[in-house]
Structures are given as structure tokens and as C-alpha cells.
Homo-oligomer: A and B are copies of this chain.
Amino acid sequence: MKQLLTTLVIFAIGSVLFISCSNTANESGTNTASSKDTKSDFDLAAARKTIDSTNAVFSGLVTKQDSVGLAAMYTSDAKLMGANMAAASGRAAIQSAFAGLFAAYGPVELKLTTVDVWGNNEMIAEEGTTAMTLKGKEIDRGKYIVLWKMEDGKWKLFRDCFNSDLPLAAPPK
């Protein structure tokens, strides 16, 4: 019991040191000439929440098959780097690509799950997984890296590279 108490106390001390460390970094960060560019005062956890809710909006637009709304979630200079298609550059091409996907797949549902995020106010890199269903049946599952950039005060998709976990039906030749 005594040992457990000691352990807890030392954990507490460790935590205080860690928190104090973070605070020190933050305080120093705000004194720099370009504090907004330091990672120390960027709230990645808050950005992740924004990305989570943005991904929920994205999935909703997929359900509605709203290619115009989806294209607007990308930056004006974005690239949709989809699997088994050439990259679609810019909103018009991205809208067209989504319209084509909806025509090919039908009324799909897309679930996006963020695995991790890294970055700062300049750019966020997100790793995630996808699950696509059609009338409740899984038709694809996969993964992606999205690079997010702030445009017009919103985090938007700047690069969106994804692929399927499922093997090809036949070996590629």
C-alpha cells in the first residue's frame, strides 16, 4: 500500500512536471516573433474535433450524393487523389469525379474514422479509415491520408489520397 501511494505521488509529480513543461513551452512560444507558426500554441486536439465534425458533414453529403457540396469542402487548389482514377485537380474536376462515383456506385453510405492527426495551423495531416456500404452491405473498406489546409477560415481538404483494403479481383497485369 505504501509503495502504491509512493507510485501515485511520483506519478502526480511527473504529471505536474509534464504540465509545467508544456506551459513553459507555451509561454516561451508566445514570446517568439512568429508565435502562430510554433507548434506549441497550436491546439491540435481542437483542430481534430473540427476535422471530426467536418468529416461528419462530408459523409452526410455523400449520403445526399451532393457532388457540389462535396467539392466545396476542398480548397480551390485541391487534388482528389482517388484510387483507380487520375487525380482530379480543382473543384470542378472534383465535383465531376464525385458525380461519376455516385453514378457508378449508387446510393452509398461512407463512414470516415480518423485514426490520427499531425500538424499545425499551416497544415494538418490526417490518417483515417473508410467503410462504404450500399443498402447496409459493405462494398468497400479502405484508408486515406488527407492533408487539410485553412481556406476562408475553414479547414478544407487540400490533398485526399485513399485506397481500398480489398484485394483486386484478378492480379494486376
Chain A interfacial positions (CB closer than 8 Å to B): 3-4, 6-7, 10-11, 13-14, 17-18, 20-21, 24-25, 28-29, 31-35, 37-40, 79, 81-87, 104-105, 118-120, 122-123, 125, 127, 139-140, 143-145, 147, 159, 161-173
Contacts and interface: CB of A to CB of B under 8 A. Distances in A.
Task: List the 5 closest A-B pairs by CB distance, nearest first.
Answer: A28-B28, A21-B21, A83-B163, A163-B163, A145-B161
B172 A139 contact: yes
Contact of A17 (B18, B39, B163): B18
Stoichiometry, as copies per complex, reads: 2
Nearest to A35: B32
Contacts of A140: 172
Contacts of A7: 3, 6-7, 10
A162 B140 CA distance: 17
